[in-house]
Structure 1
C-alpha cells in the first residue's frame, strides 16, 4: 500500500467514522479503544468475565461455550470454532471428499472458494470444482441432476453474495438438496450469512441448517464479531474437522476475544436481523424510486426486493468517482449512504457497484430520508466529477 493509498483510506475512515447518519456500521470503522470498550460492555452480558481466558479453545472455556451455543442455534450435534471461514470450508470439503471417496465439489463459479481464496480448494485440499451453472443464481435441481460427471459434495452459498445476496425459494432449496442426494452426494452450506436468510425462507434457523450435512457460519459479518467462524454438523465429522483444524494451524493459543465478540453477536445482533431484512426492503424501494426520478441514464438496485438485509446498487460511473462522492457527503453532511464502489470482474468500464447493508442505525431512516440522501449524493457525484480529489 502506497502513502497515497494510506492517506486515502485514512480519510475515508475518518469521514465514515465521524458520520452521524448511516445505514450500517462500517466494518472496521471503530477506533481500537471504542471497540474494546464495546466488547467489554456487551461481553459482560454474554459471558462471565470472571472466568479464565481459554487456552487452545479448551472445551470448558469460552470457546467451548461458543461451540455449544452455535450447535444449539443451528440444531446440529456439534460445532467447531475456526479462526477463518476459508479454513472451515476447506476442512469441511476435505473431510467429505475423504468420506465419499470423490474429490469433485459442485459449486457456483461465483462462490467464495472460487472468487476469494486464491485457488486454495485445489492447491491445498486437492479438490476439483465442477460448475453446475453459470447463471447469476444458485443451481436448480434440474441442473444438479444434469451434471455430466459424479461429484462427492454439493456446496451452496446461502445467500450467493456475488449475485446480489440472492437466495432460492424454500421449495427450490429443498429440491436442489434432494437432487444432490439422488446423485449420492452430501450437501454443505456456505452459510457465512445464513443467519439473516431465514426471513426469506420463512423457516427457523435449525430447519434451514437441517437440510445440509454440514454448515459453516461466520461470526464477524452480520453478527458484528471480531473474526472467526464455526463448522457445524454430525459429531464424528466435527471431530475429524477439529483434527484438520490443528493441522492447518487453526488453533491459536488464545481466541477468547473473538469468541466473546461472537457470543455477544448471538445475543445482540441475531435477534435483530429479521427487522433489518424487513427494513432493507424499504430502503431498496426508496433507492429505486429516487434513481427512477433522477436524470440517470441507467441504474440497478438488485435484487429489486432484497432477500436479506444486503443488496447491490449499480450506477453508470467510475468507481473512484462514486467513492469520492460518498466521502464528500459524509464529510460535509455527516450522512453515509454508500461507501466503497468497485467495478466487478467482467463489468464494462464506466459502471460500478456497491453493496448496501441495512442494520440497526438504518432502522431510523424513512423512505423520504433515503430519497433525500440519494439526491444529495448525486449532487456530490457531479461535483466530484468536475473537480476530482
Structure 2
C-alpha cells in the first residue's frame, strides 16, 4: 500500500508507546534502480524467517520503479520521497517502521534467504547492531571477489570503539551488511550533512550497545557502473572533497550523540586529527593538479604512523604520497583511479559461489 510521506501510522511513531511490531523492518531504499530492484525484493520475499515487514522507499525515481512497486500488491509499505538523498529517505521510511530491528537493503544488493533467520538468533540479547559479510558481485550478480569485510565473531563493540578512536571509523560492511536496533536510529536523529545512511549509524552503534559480528556471508554487494558510490566516478574531485567533509560531519554528529546519551564516554578528536582526512586532501589535490603543501605532507605521515605503525598498509600509503608529490599528472590520476576503485585488484581467480540463493 502507499503511505503518504509525513503521515505514518500511529503505532510507527518513535514518540510514545507503540503497538507490538515485528522483529524486523526491512527497508529497501531505491532511486532509479528498476533494473536491480526486483531481485532485491524477491530476496526478501524468499526469507525463511517470516517475522518481518517490508517497506520500500523510493526517492523520486523516473525509471518506472514506482509502477513496479505498486504492481506488487500485498502487505508491503511504499514510502515516496522527492530526492532527499538516501539518508533522509531511509529516515523517512523509518518513521513508518514498527520492527525492533531495522535492516536497510540497497535496491541493487541482495539478501540471502537465511539472512533474517541468522539475524534473529543474533538479536536475542538486544544488541545495538548485527553485522555480516557480503559477497561482491558484478552487475549480472556474478561473484568476483572474496566476501567483505574480514570480520570475525570477536569483532565486538569494544573493538569497534577502539577502531573509531584510533582511525575515525570501524571495520564494518556497507549498508546492506548491517542491521540496527531502532534505538540507534532514534538516537541519531536527522542526517543533514550527507546522503549515506551507513555513516553515523555505523559509528554510533558500538557506543549504544553490543555489536554482534557474523563471519558468514549473508548477502551480496553489487559493484557496477550505475552505482552512486565513488568507484563509479573515481576522478571526481568534488566527490573526494565531499567524502572529506562528510567524514567531519560524522565525527561531529557522533560527538553530539555521545554528549547527549553517553556523557561519560571520551569524545572523538576532530576530523583533521585523523589520517583519513589528510589522505582525502592528497587525493583531491592530485585530481585538481594542485601542489601538496608541507603541512599536509607532515600531517599525512604523522597521522598514518600514529594510527597504523610501520605496516604494509603504511608503506603503500607512503608510496602513494611520493607519487602524489613528485609524479607527473597522468601517473597521479592513474593511481587515483586505482585508489578510488579497488575492486579490480580484489578479484580472485576462483570467487566464492553465492550462498543461500
TM interval, shorter chain, is under 0.3
Which gives a bigger RCO, structure 1 or 2 (Cα 8 Å, sep 6+)? Answer: 1
When Rg is computed on C-alpha atoms for both structures, the one with the higher figure is 1
With the length of structure 1 as denominator, give the TM-score of the two structures: 0.23
With the length of structure 2 as denominator, give the TM-score of the two structures: 0.25
